[in-house]
Structure 1
Amino acid sequence: MSIQAYQNNSVETASPGELTLMLYNGCIKFIKASRKAMENNEIEKKNTNIQKAQNIIQELMVTMNQDYAISQEILPLYDYMNRRLIEANTKNDVEILDEVQGLVTEFRDTWKQVILQTRKAQQAQGGSA
Protein backbone atom coordinates (compact mmCIF):
# COMPACT_ATOMS: atom_id res chain seq x y z
CA MET A 1 0.00 0.00 0.00
CA SER A 2 1.35 3.40 -0.96
CA ILE A 3 1.76 6.18 1.60
CA GLN A 4 -0.95 8.20 -0.19
CA ALA A 5 -3.37 5.26 -0.09
CA TYR A 6 -2.58 4.72 3.58
CA GLN A 7 -3.19 8.40 4.35
CA ASN A 8 -6.46 8.41 2.40
CA ASN A 9 -7.56 5.27 4.24
CA SER A 10 -6.69 6.78 7.65
CA VAL A 11 -8.80 9.85 6.86
CA GLU A 12 -11.71 7.75 5.60
CA THR A 13 -11.72 5.50 8.66
CA ALA A 14 -10.98 8.18 11.27
CA SER A 15 -13.61 9.21 13.79
CA PRO A 16 -14.68 12.87 13.86
CA GLY A 17 -12.48 13.32 16.94
CA GLU A 18 -9.45 11.86 15.14
CA LEU A 19 -10.14 14.06 12.10
CA THR A 20 -10.08 17.15 14.34
CA LEU A 21 -6.76 15.94 15.75
CA MET A 22 -5.41 15.58 12.19
CA LEU A 23 -6.52 19.15 11.43
CA TYR A 24 -4.65 20.50 14.48
CA ASN A 25 -1.53 18.53 13.51
CA GLY A 26 -1.76 19.79 9.93
CA CYS A 27 -2.12 23.36 11.11
CA ILE A 28 1.00 23.04 13.28
CA LYS A 29 2.90 21.51 10.36
CA PHE A 30 1.96 24.42 8.06
CA ILE A 31 2.86 27.04 10.67
CA LYS A 32 6.28 25.41 11.13
CA ALA A 33 6.79 25.31 7.34
CA SER A 34 5.79 28.97 7.00
CA ARG A 35 8.19 29.93 9.79
CA LYS A 36 11.05 28.13 8.03
CA ALA A 37 10.12 29.78 4.72
CA MET A 38 9.97 33.18 6.46
CA GLU A 39 13.46 32.67 7.89
CA ASN A 40 14.75 31.68 4.43
CA ASN A 41 13.02 34.68 2.83
CA GLU A 42 10.87 32.40 0.66
CA ILE A 43 7.90 34.74 0.49
CA GLU A 44 5.64 32.67 -1.77
CA LYS A 45 6.21 29.49 0.24
CA LYS A 46 5.59 31.39 3.49
CA ASN A 47 2.36 32.83 2.13
CA THR A 48 1.11 29.45 0.84
CA ASN A 49 1.75 27.68 4.16
CA ILE A 50 0.18 30.44 6.25
CA GLN A 51 -2.90 30.30 4.01
CA LYS A 52 -3.08 26.52 4.50
CA ALA A 53 -2.93 27.01 8.28
CA GLN A 54 -5.66 29.67 8.01
CA ASN A 55 -7.82 27.31 5.92
CA ILE A 56 -7.59 24.69 8.66
CA ILE A 57 -8.55 27.18 11.38
CA GLN A 58 -11.47 28.36 9.22
CA GLU A 59 -12.55 24.73 8.75
CA LEU A 60 -12.43 24.20 12.52
CA MET A 61 -14.61 27.30 12.95
CA VAL A 62 -17.19 26.23 10.35
CA THR A 63 -17.49 22.64 11.58
CA MET A 64 -17.64 23.46 15.29
CA ASN A 65 -20.75 22.14 17.01
CA GLN A 66 -22.56 25.26 18.22
CA ASP A 67 -24.73 23.22 20.63
CA TYR A 68 -22.06 23.35 23.33
CA ALA A 69 -21.58 26.45 25.48
CA ILE A 70 -17.79 26.07 25.21
CA SER A 71 -18.09 26.84 21.48
CA GLN A 72 -18.77 30.48 22.38
CA GLU A 73 -15.40 30.58 24.15
CA ILE A 74 -13.44 28.70 21.48
CA LEU A 75 -14.70 30.53 18.38
CA PRO A 76 -13.20 33.91 19.39
CA LEU A 77 -9.85 32.16 19.97
CA TYR A 78 -9.96 30.59 16.49
CA ASP A 79 -10.83 34.01 15.07
CA TYR A 80 -7.91 35.54 17.00
CA MET A 81 -5.49 32.91 15.65
CA ASN A 82 -6.73 33.51 12.12
CA ARG A 83 -6.23 37.29 12.44
CA ARG A 84 -2.77 36.78 13.97
CA LEU A 85 -1.77 34.57 11.03
CA ILE A 86 -2.77 37.36 8.63
CA GLU A 87 -0.67 39.76 10.71
CA ALA A 88 2.31 37.37 10.77
CA ASN A 89 2.08 37.07 7.00
CA THR A 90 1.97 40.81 6.31
CA LYS A 91 4.62 41.72 8.89
CA ASN A 92 6.89 38.68 8.34
CA ASP A 93 6.81 38.15 12.10
CA VAL A 94 8.04 34.77 13.38
CA GLU A 95 7.07 35.64 16.96
CA ILE A 96 3.41 35.81 15.95
CA LEU A 97 3.76 32.41 14.24
CA ASP A 98 5.26 31.01 17.44
CA GLU A 99 2.36 32.42 19.44
CA VAL A 100 -0.26 30.87 17.15
CA GLN A 101 1.62 27.57 17.04
CA GLY A 102 1.58 27.51 20.84
CA LEU A 103 -2.19 28.08 20.91
CA VAL A 104 -2.87 25.39 18.29
CA THR A 105 -0.61 22.98 20.19
CA GLU A 106 -2.59 23.62 23.39
CA PHE A 107 -5.85 22.93 21.54
CA ARG A 108 -4.38 19.77 20.05
CA ASP A 109 -3.06 18.46 23.36
CA THR A 110 -6.39 19.16 25.08
CA TRP A 111 -8.23 17.45 22.22
CA LYS A 112 -5.98 14.39 22.55
CA GLN A 113 -6.97 14.12 26.22
CA VAL A 114 -10.67 14.39 25.31
CA ILE A 115 -10.29 11.52 22.81
CA LEU A 116 -8.44 9.36 25.35
CA GLN A 117 -11.03 10.00 28.06
CA THR A 118 -13.87 9.28 25.64
CA ARG A 119 -12.26 5.98 24.66
CA LYS A 120 -11.78 5.02 28.30
CA ALA A 121 -15.41 5.84 29.07
CA GLN A 122 -16.61 3.80 26.07
CA GLN A 123 -14.43 0.84 27.06
CA ALA A 124 -15.72 1.03 30.64
CA GLN A 125 -19.27 0.83 29.27
CA GLY A 126 -18.30 -2.17 27.14
CA GLY A 127 -18.52 -0.26 23.86
CA SER A 128 -15.82 -0.06 21.22
CA ALA A 129 -13.86 3.10 20.48
Structure 2
Amino acid sequence: MIATANRRAANHYVDVLHNSSLGEDSPHRLIQMLMEGFLVRINSAKGAMLHGEIEAKSRYISNAMGIVGGLIDGLDMEHGGELSANLYSLYEYINFRLLEANSKNSVEILDEVAGLLRNIKEAWDAIG
Protein backbone atom coordinates (compact mmCIF):
# COMPACT_ATOMS: atom_id res chain seq x y z
CA MET A 1 0.00 0.00 0.00
CA ILE A 2 2.78 2.43 0.88
CA ALA A 3 4.56 1.73 -2.42
CA THR A 4 1.30 2.43 -4.29
CA ALA A 5 0.91 5.76 -2.50
CA ASN A 6 4.52 6.66 -3.25
CA ARG A 7 4.06 5.70 -6.88
CA ARG A 8 1.01 7.96 -7.08
CA ALA A 9 3.07 10.77 -5.54
CA ALA A 10 5.87 10.22 -8.07
CA ASN A 11 3.33 10.20 -10.90
CA HIS A 12 1.82 13.42 -9.58
CA TYR A 13 5.32 14.92 -9.51
CA VAL A 14 5.80 13.85 -13.13
CA ASP A 15 2.46 15.40 -14.12
CA VAL A 16 3.24 18.69 -12.39
CA LEU A 17 6.63 18.95 -14.06
CA HIS A 18 5.22 18.01 -17.46
CA ASN A 19 2.57 20.70 -17.17
CA SER A 20 4.87 23.41 -15.85
CA SER A 21 7.01 25.75 -17.88
CA LEU A 22 10.43 24.25 -17.19
CA GLY A 23 11.57 24.64 -20.77
CA GLU A 24 12.31 22.32 -23.65
CA ASP A 25 14.52 19.93 -21.75
CA SER A 26 12.11 19.39 -18.84
CA PRO A 27 11.34 15.70 -19.57
CA HIS A 28 15.07 14.95 -19.63
CA ARG A 29 15.62 16.91 -16.43
CA LEU A 30 12.65 15.22 -14.80
CA ILE A 31 14.24 11.79 -15.28
CA GLN A 32 17.50 13.14 -13.85
CA MET A 33 15.65 14.46 -10.82
CA LEU A 34 13.87 11.14 -10.27
CA MET A 35 17.16 9.29 -10.45
CA GLU A 36 18.82 11.77 -8.09
CA GLY A 37 15.90 11.38 -5.68
CA PHE A 38 16.23 7.61 -5.84
CA LEU A 39 19.92 7.74 -4.95
CA VAL A 40 19.27 10.13 -2.05
CA ARG A 41 16.60 7.82 -0.65
CA ILE A 42 18.85 4.77 -0.96
CA ASN A 43 21.59 6.58 0.96
CA SER A 44 19.04 7.62 3.59
CA ALA A 45 17.78 4.03 3.83
CA LYS A 46 21.35 2.81 4.34
CA GLY A 47 21.87 5.33 7.13
CA ALA A 48 18.62 4.35 8.79
CA MET A 49 19.52 0.67 8.42
CA LEU A 50 22.93 1.20 10.03
CA HIS A 51 21.34 3.09 12.93
CA GLY A 52 18.62 0.49 13.50
CA GLU A 53 15.83 2.87 12.47
CA ILE A 54 13.49 0.27 11.00
CA GLU A 55 10.53 2.57 10.29
CA ALA A 56 12.69 5.18 8.54
CA LYS A 57 14.49 2.48 6.54
CA SER A 58 11.19 1.09 5.30
CA ARG A 59 9.88 4.55 4.45
CA TYR A 60 12.99 5.46 2.42
CA ILE A 61 12.94 2.14 0.57
CA SER A 62 9.24 2.55 -0.14
CA ASN A 63 9.89 6.07 -1.46
CA ALA A 64 12.67 4.70 -3.69
CA MET A 65 10.27 2.07 -5.04
CA GLY A 66 7.75 4.78 -5.81
CA ILE A 67 10.39 6.67 -7.76
CA VAL A 68 11.23 3.53 -9.73
CA GLY A 69 7.50 3.28 -10.47
CA GLY A 70 7.65 6.81 -11.85
CA LEU A 71 10.62 5.84 -14.02
CA ILE A 72 8.68 2.83 -15.30
CA ASP A 73 5.67 5.01 -16.06
CA GLY A 74 7.93 7.34 -18.04
CA LEU A 75 9.05 4.59 -20.42
CA ASP A 76 7.65 4.72 -23.94
CA MET A 77 6.90 1.04 -24.38
CA GLU A 78 5.16 1.64 -27.72
CA HIS A 79 8.05 3.44 -29.42
CA GLY A 80 11.01 2.74 -27.15
CA GLY A 81 11.78 -0.68 -28.54
CA GLU A 82 14.41 -2.87 -26.95
CA LEU A 83 15.81 -0.05 -24.82
CA SER A 84 12.49 0.56 -23.08
CA ALA A 85 11.97 -3.18 -22.60
CA ASN A 86 15.43 -3.55 -21.07
CA LEU A 87 14.94 -0.56 -18.76
CA TYR A 88 11.55 -1.94 -17.70
CA SER A 89 13.17 -5.25 -16.78
CA LEU A 90 15.96 -3.49 -14.91
CA TYR A 91 13.54 -1.28 -12.98
CA GLU A 92 11.43 -4.30 -12.03
CA TYR A 93 14.60 -6.07 -10.86
CA ILE A 94 15.58 -3.02 -8.80
CA ASN A 95 12.19 -2.98 -7.08
CA PHE A 96 12.43 -6.72 -6.38
CA ARG A 97 15.87 -6.23 -4.85
CA LEU A 98 14.60 -3.29 -2.78
CA LEU A 99 11.99 -5.57 -1.24
CA GLU A 100 14.75 -8.04 -0.43
CA ALA A 101 16.97 -5.31 1.02
CA ASN A 102 14.15 -4.21 3.27
CA SER A 103 13.30 -7.69 4.51
CA LYS A 104 16.94 -8.80 4.92
CA ASN A 105 18.24 -5.46 6.22
CA SER A 106 20.92 -5.62 3.55
CA VAL A 107 23.16 -2.64 2.91
CA GLU A 108 24.87 -4.71 0.19
CA ILE A 109 21.65 -4.97 -1.82
CA LEU A 110 21.09 -1.24 -1.44
CA ASP A 111 24.61 -0.68 -2.76
CA GLU A 112 23.86 -2.99 -5.70
CA VAL A 113 20.68 -1.17 -6.78
CA ALA A 114 22.29 2.24 -6.26
CA GLY A 115 25.14 1.15 -8.54
CA LEU A 116 22.72 -0.09 -11.20
CA LEU A 117 20.75 3.13 -11.24
CA ARG A 118 23.90 5.25 -11.01
CA ASN A 119 25.13 3.61 -14.24
CA ILE A 120 21.84 4.41 -15.97
CA LYS A 121 21.93 7.97 -14.61
CA GLU A 122 25.48 8.52 -15.89
CA ALA A 123 24.38 7.44 -19.37
CA TRP A 124 21.28 9.62 -19.10
CA ASP A 125 23.34 12.60 -17.95
CA ALA A 126 25.66 12.16 -20.95
CA ILE A 127 22.69 12.60 -23.30
CA GLY A 128 22.08 16.13 -21.99
Under TM normalisation by the shorter chain, which class is it? 0.7 to 0.9
Q: Distance in 2 between matches of 1:41 and 1:33?
A: 12
Unaligned runs of 5+ in 1: 1-10, 116-129
- Three-state SS of the structure 1 residue aligned to 2:36 is helix
Q: Distance in 1 between matches of 2:80 and 2:127?
A: 15
Q: Where do residues 1-129 of structure 1 align in structure 2 (5 Å cutoff)? A: 12=20, 13=22, 15-66=26-77, 67-69=79-81, 70-115=83-128
Task: Map Cα deviations across residues 46-74 of structure 1 (whole Å, 9 max, x no partner).
Answer: 00000000000011111211111111111
- Spell out structure 1 runs of 4+ moving beyond 3 A: none
What is the aligned-residue RMSD (CA, Å)? 1.0
Unaligned runs of 5+ in 2: 1-16
Q: Which structure has the higher relative contact order (CA within 8 Å, separation 6+)?
A: 2
Task: Map Cα deviations across residues 79-112 of structure 1 (whole Å, 9 max, x no partner).
Answer: 0000000000000000000000001111111100
Q: Distance in 2 between matches of 1:105 and 1:63?
A: 18
Q: Distance in 1 between matches of 2:106 and 2:91?
A: 19
- Taking structure 2 as the reference length, the TM-score comes to 0.79
- Three-state SS of the structure 2 residue aligned to 1:90 is helix
Name the amino acid aligned to 1:91: K
61-70 or 98-107, which moves further after superposition? 61-70
Max Rg structure: 1
- Taking structure 1 as the reference length, the TM-score comes to 0.79
Name the amino acid aligned to 1:68: G
